[in-house]
Amino acid sequence: MLSLSELKSLLATPQKIVITTHHKPDGDAMGSSLGLYAYLIQKGHHVKVITPTDYPYFLHWLPNNSDVIIYTEQKEQSELHVAEASLIFCLDFNTLSRINELGEVIRGSEAYKIMIDHHLEPEDFDDYRCWNINACAAAQLVYEFIVHELEDGAFMSKDIATCLYTGIMTDSGSFRFPSATSEVYRIGADLIDAGAEHWRIHQLVYDNATENRLRFLGHCLTNKLEILREFNTAIITVTAEELKKYNIVTGDTEGIVNYALSVNGIRLAAFIIERTDRVKLSLRSTGDFPANEICKKYFNGGGHRNAAGGASDESLTDTVEKFKSILTEYKTQLLQ
Q: What share of the chain is helix, strand, coil (3-state, %, to 5)?
A: 45, 20, 35
- To the nearest whole angstrom, how small is the minimum distance from the Cβ of residue 3 to ligand 5GP? 29
Helices (H), the chain: 4-11, 27-42, 75-84, 102-107, 138-144, 158-171, 182-193, 198-206, 211-219, 240-245, 256-261, 291-298, 316-327, 331-335
120 is a site residue for ligand 5GP (CB under 6 A): no
Query: What does 28 interact with, of Mn ion, ligand 5GP, none (CB < 5 to 8 A by kind)?
Result: Mn ion
Residue 311 as a binder of ligand 5GP (CB under 6 A): the answer is yes
Q: Which residues contact 43 (CB under 8 A, 6 or more apart)?
A: 11, 152, 155
Closest CA to 143 of 93, 187, 176, 189: 187
Per DSSP, 249 falls in state -
Among 159, 171, 252, 274, binds Mn ion (CB under 5 A): 171
Under the binding rule (CB under 6 A), the answer on residue 294 touching ligand 5GP is: no
Tell which residue, 180, 123, 78, has the closest CA to residue 115: 123
Give least dist CB 116 to ligand 5GP, A: 14
The interface partner of residue 138, options being Mn ion, ligand 5GP, none and the CB cut-off 5 to 8 Å by kind, is Mn ion
Does the footprint of ligand 5GP cover residue 116 (CB under 6 A)?
A: no
Q: Is 252 in the site for Mn ion (CB under 5 A)?
A: no
Query: DSSP 3-state assignment of 50?
Result: strand
Residue nearest to ligand 5GP (CB): 309
The answer to whether 139 contacts Mn ion (rule: CB under 5 A) is: no
56 touching ligand 5GP, by CB under 6 A:
no
Residues that bind ligand 5GP (CB under 6 A): 22, 98, 282, 301-304, 307-311
Residues that bind Mn ion (CB under 5 A): 28, 92, 138, 171
